[in-house]
Amino acid sequence: MEIQTWTYILVAVSFTLYIGIAIWAKAGTTSEFYVAGKGVSPLANGMATAADWMSAASFIGMAGIISFMGRDGSVYLMGWTGGYVLLALLLAPYLRKFGKFTVPDFVGDRYYSQTARIVAVLCAIFISFTYVAGQMRGVGIVFSRFLEVEIATGVLIGMGIVFFYAVLGGMKGITYTQVAQYCVLIFAYTVPAVFISIMMTGNPIPQLGFGSELVNETGVSLLDKLDGLSEALGFKAYTSGNKSTIDVFFITAALMVGTAGLPHVIVRFFTVPKVRDARKSALYALIFIAILYTTAPAIAAFARTNLILSVSERPYSDVPAWFKNWENTGLIQFTDKNNDGKIQYVKDATKNELMIDRDIIVLANPEIARLPNWVIALVAAGGLAAALSTAAGLLLVISTSIAHDLLKKSFKPDISEKGELRAARIAAGFAVVVAGYFGINPPGFVAQVVAFAFGLAAASFFPAIIMGIFSKRMNKEGAITGMVVGILFTASYIIYFKFVSPENNTSKNWLFGISPEGIGTLGMILNFVTSTAVARFTAKPPKEILELVDKIRIPKEG
């Protein structure tokens, strides 16, 4: 069968499965809508957390960005992996012990302030919209290639699917849908990697094939071959780095601590019955996540090698079918600058004739390697599963922040449970529309956009949550000031270099040589410093808050 036919079949089957689960697990109460009634098993929650965590940035963007950046791209791998460990050890059990629905709920009660709650809500919404833009972009890319529709049309289709199961099922429906989505995405990610690893290195384990010799070149390893190909085209060796040490550190740190402040991941630990279950589900999720994350560098190297060998110095009239297919989406563009009919893919911008959107690498990889059509279609279904699973979690954060933290806790405390549930669904519908707009008009590559969201989370939530758990002296004045300073500084820096003055987005113009992707770490430091200073010169928290801190710092059953 043709690729498109296979894609229609696999996408239709997977979407039917997701919608069926959403109908089966329809939320009937606010507890089910917000935290799945706190009845999810650790294993299921681990899989759902992994699916929530492994967004389009992980599935589509990470290997793509590593493929183009080489060793420099490993900052995303290190940051996101280390960040999840940080989350599991430092935050998950304590927040589950606290027992509230959302991060703004924690901030509002811990800092005994409606103002703190509202600031946290605004931060959660801003972060979530930034993050969800990357997911919807990923949905649009998959649809544009494999179903041969415009990216905007693909985003609209994705909006409709997410709206249905996120608004209908809430966290209960999303959780069990994400279990299915994890199975789909991890199978779709590893199967082509195994095929290509066997074809290129003879090793069926991609993680080992990554460092093995090529089957058709005795004594030449994959990475040595890729280094040579890269240098021949004027690029730096694939295994060498271009980024400064300070920028690598700041990006990695921003991704790590940003992970620990992401509201859609944190809320997953409220869905299990007990504190010990939060720890178990964190461990399960780490194992499930590791399968994909250890495979990504191998996929990046395989794809980059095959890409260069497939197109460089090749007559345009003789390019393989996959090239033409992706060219139709606008995500690959060839401009014959010297009119010789051959594709010049080189580092020199004045001579380079090929523009490749790095977000297509994982999706195009099976086509480039000439794998069976069903494998190519499977990757499309996996990419959609990854993007939609995270998008649903983010939309739920937005809806609960508006309905529970703003409406119920701040402006209309007497609202009925039915009214609150209706408000949450309306908010989710509104959020889907806004997310779709940003998916059609994204501020950058998928992984890059998501990195901005992590930076914003690092600069706003992480210090407030950490000090809320481990510092009795931190008060509402300090937390509020720190969150405001952190997110305003970080957002302003990103907006300036990405939107206001993108022509100045170079290392020589960055503050201390820190890129917009890493500025969240500096924002976090400013948050810590500001909040600590303000707390020192303002009143101590009340006695009941000190007792609350003692209670949540003992992550065992009460």
Which DSSP string do the residues of 97-115 spell out, in sequence order? HH--SSHHHHHHHHTT-HH
Q: Which of 387, 379, 367, 352 is nearest to 302 (CA)?
A: 367
DSSP, res 334: E
CB 353 within 8 A of CB 343: yes
Close Cβ partners of 412 (under 8 Å, ≥ 6 residues apart): none
Which pLDDT score is estimated for 558? 41
In this prediction, the residues of the chain whose per-residue pLDDT falls under 50 are: 557-558
Using DSSP, state whether 333 is helix, strand or coil: strand
Close Cβ partners of 127 (under 8 Å, ≥ 6 residues apart): 261, 262, 263, 453, 456, 457, 460, 461
In three-state form (DSSP H/G/I as H, E/B as E, the rest C), the secondary structure along 53-75 is: HCCHHHHHHHHHHHHHHHHHHHH
Integer angstrom CA distances of residue 183 from 188, 189, 283, 400: 9, 10, 17, 27
Pairing of strands 332-334, 354-356: antiparallel
Q: How many CB atoms lie within 10 A of CB 43?
A: 15
Q: Which of 154, 11, 148, 67 is nearest to 442 (CA)?
A: 154
Which pLDDT score is estimated for 551? 80
Q: Which of 60, 78, 75, 76 is nearest to 135 (CA)?
A: 60
CB 159 within 8 A of CB 432: yes
Q: What are phi and psi of 133, to 5 degrees?
A: -60, -40
The residues pairing with 354 across neighbouring beta strands, listed in sequence order, are 334
**What's the whole-model pTM score?**
0.78
- Alpha carbons 375 and 213: distance in angstroms, whole number: 25
The residues pairing with 69 across neighbouring beta strands, listed in sequence order, are none
CB 555 within 8 A of CB 97: yes
What's the full length of the chain, in residues? 558
Residue for token pair 């500025």: 519
Q: Containing H/E element for 332? A: strand 332-334
Residue for token pair 């178990």: 280
Cβ neighbourhood burial of 115 (10 Å; 0-12, 13-18, 19+):
middle
CB 304 within 8 A of CB 238: yes
Integer angstrom CA distances of residue 99 from 27, 96, 470: 19, 5, 17
Using DSSP, state whether 221 is helix, strand or coil: strand
pLDDT 10s digits, 253-281:
888 887 766 667 777 777 777 777 877 88
- Alpha carbons 177 and 388: distance in angstroms, whole number: 10
Which pLDDT score is estimated for 445? 52
CB 141 within 8 A of CB 153: no
The three-point CA angle 513-519-524 to 5° equals: 130
Question: In Å, how far from its chain's centre is CA 89?
Answer: 20
Q: What are phi and psi of 425, to 5 degrees?
A: -70, -40
Residue for token pair 């970080």: 490
String of b and e for 124-159 (b: at least 16 CB within 10 Å)?
bbbbbbbbbbbbbbbbbbbbbbbeebebeebbbbbb
